[in-house]
Structure 1
Amino acid sequence: MELQQLRYVVTVAETNSFTRAAERCLVVQSALSHQVARLERELGARLFERTSRRVRLTPAGAAFLPAARQCLDAAERAKAEVAAAVGEVRGRLAVGLIPTVAAVDIPGTLREFHQRYPHVRISLRVGASEELVEQVGQGAIEVAFLGLPTTARPEGVAAHELARDRLVAVVAPDHPLAGEAEVDLRRLAAEVFVDLPAGTAGRAQSDQAFAAAGLVRDVAFEVTNADFLARLVVQGLGVAMLPSAFVPQLTGLVTVEVTDAPARVEHVIWSPVTRTPAAIAFLDLLGITG
């Protein structure tokens, strides 16, 4: 069994196509197909179901795929560790973040990191906090930036608190609340809301605050993208509550202070078990040595 064969299997699984996998791997399709077939013979099981219309994993292939990815990741880590031992940071750095990160200038930080360590391949994923915690725990990403209610802590990962912030209300310029200096949750509960999906950590901050006040609100629009959330608010379709440090990045909205607003905490997290040289270098850039 060779690493190249594992790469081919993973790529075919990701693209659902031998043709696209060959293009991505920069080899002719016949060579890729031959190596996958050779691996299947060695394993004594077919990894893919091939038809004229599609390619998909067999049960054996689905069982094989996670281990194949782990082997490839281990090989990459081994190369990165050797490079680090001779004073050069290489490998990959997969960073996850929620859309409303405000405590760190992510683009600027990644730019500085790339300038310092040009041989590290950087990738970026945007998702919900709970998804990012799971992905860091699984080793799919090395570092992630979260926003959580003050009552929550990231579990199963190493974490460092970056900042605390209060939520503010954002409304359209012609909304009746736009002329108010401040508002409370009881007044806001009478409005229609635009918010993140139910069950997410970003949504929980507001849900917990309204519930603690004995209030029920109407969330008519659920979106995962902060920019699209802002566009709905600008059109007068609802109001929203967002971290005060993040709101200046948006345009066309009026900010109203909330006297009994909930708070959130931004964290950066990483694996407590396996830290790659690239992850260590990135955390060091943030001033984190733990």
Structure 2
Amino acid sequence: MELQQMRYVIAVAETNSFTRAAERCLVVQSALSHQIARLERELGARLFERTSRRVRLTPAGAAFLPAARQCLDAAERAAAEVAAAVGEVRGRLAVGLIPTVAAVDIPGALRDFRRRYPQVRVGLRVGASDDLVEQVKEGALDVAFLGLPTTARLTGVAARELARDRLVAVVAPDHPLAGGPSVSLGRLATEDFVDLPAGTAGRIQTDQAFAAAGLTREVAFEVTTADFMDRLVGQGLGIAMFPSASVHRLTGVAAVEVTDAPARVEYVIWSPVGRTPAAAAFLDLLDLPGPGGSAAHAARAALGTR
């Protein structure tokens, strides 16, 4: 069994096509198909169901895929650790964040990181806090920045608190509350809301605040992005609640302080089993080093600091 065969299997699984997988891997399709067939013979099971119209994983292929990804990740990390031991930072850096993260300037940090470490492949995913936690646990992300209610407890990941913030109400510019000094949750409960889907971390903190005050509210519009929440609020379709530190990014809306507003905590998280040299270097660049270790030491050595 060879690492290249695993790369081919992953490419076919992700593209659902032998042709597109071959294009991604920069090989001719016949070579890719031959290597996968050879692997299937070695394993004694077919990994893909092939028809003239589609390609999909068999149960055996679905079982093989996570382990193949782990093997490739381990091989890549081993190479990165060797490079870090001689003062180089290579490999990949996969970063996740929520749209409203405010404690860290992620775009600026990624720009500086790419300039300093051009040999690192950098990727970015934007999503909900709950999803980002799972992706860090699975190894799909190296580092993630998220916001959670003060009552939330992180498990299965290493975490560091970055900042605490309070939510503010966001309303259309011509809304009766616009321009007011402050407002209470009781008054907000009479309005229609634009919010994230029920059960998400960003939604829970607001739901808990209203429930603790003995209030109910009507969420008329559930959306998955802060940008679309902003647009709906700007059209007067409802009001929303955002972290105060991120309100300056919104356009066409007005912010109002909430006297009994809920709070949230921003965290940076990474795998509890250790950080890659690239992740260690990224956190070090942000002046957010975690616990010591070979990766952190190598990153600091490469940076020539501390």
TM-score > 0.5, shorter chain as reference = yes
Q: Distance in 2 between matches of 1:19 and 1:60?
A: 22
Amino acid paired to 2:97: L
Cα offset, 1:181, TM superposition: 1.5
Q: Distance in 2 between matches of 1:67 and 1:8?
A: 14
Aligned to 2:207: 207
Aligned to 2:89: 89
Pairs within 5 Å for 1:1-290: 1-290=1-290
RMSD of Structure 2 on Structure 1 (CA):
0.8
Cα offset, 1:139, TM superposition: 1.2
How many residues are treated as equivalent by the alignment? 290
Q: Which runs of no fewer than 5 residues in structure 1 stay unpaired?
A: none
Cα offset, 1:152, TM superposition: 1.4
Q: Distance in 1 between matches of 2:97 and 2:193?
A: 24
Q: Distance in 1 between matches of 2:195 and 2:250?
A: 15
Aligned to 2:295: none
Cα offset, 1:179, TM superposition: 3.4
Amino acid paired to 1:51: T
Aligned to 2:303: none
Q: Distance in 2 between matches of 1:45 and 1:156?
A: 33
Cα offset, 1:212, TM superposition: 0.2
Partner SS for 1:284: helix
Cα offset, 1:288, TM superposition: 2.1
Partner SS for 1:236: coil
Partner SS for 1:137: helix
CA distance 1:179–1:288, change in 2 (3 Å): closer
Q: Distance in 2 between matches of 1:98 and 1:170?
A: 18
Partner SS for 1:96: strand
Structure 1 residue runs of 4 or more that deviate by more than 4 Å after TM superposition: none
Deviations 1:202-242 (A, max 9, x none): 10111000000000000011111101110000000000000
Q: Distance in 2 between matches of 1:235 and 1:179?
A: 17
Q: Which runs of no fewer than 5 residues in structure 2 stay unpaired?
A: 291-306
Q: Distance in 1 between matches of 2:31 and 2:132?
A: 37
Q: Distance in 1 between matches of 2:62 and 2:26?
A: 24
State the identity %.
Answer: 83
Cα offset, 1:134, TM superposition: 1.3
Cα offset, 1:268, TM superposition: 0.3
Cα offset, 1:289, TM superposition: 2.3
Q: Distance in 1 between matches of 2:288 and 2:172?
A: 39
Amino acid paired to 1:207: D
Amino acid paired to 2:128: A
Aligned to 2:301: none
Q: Distance in 2 between matches of 1:152 and 1:50?
A: 45
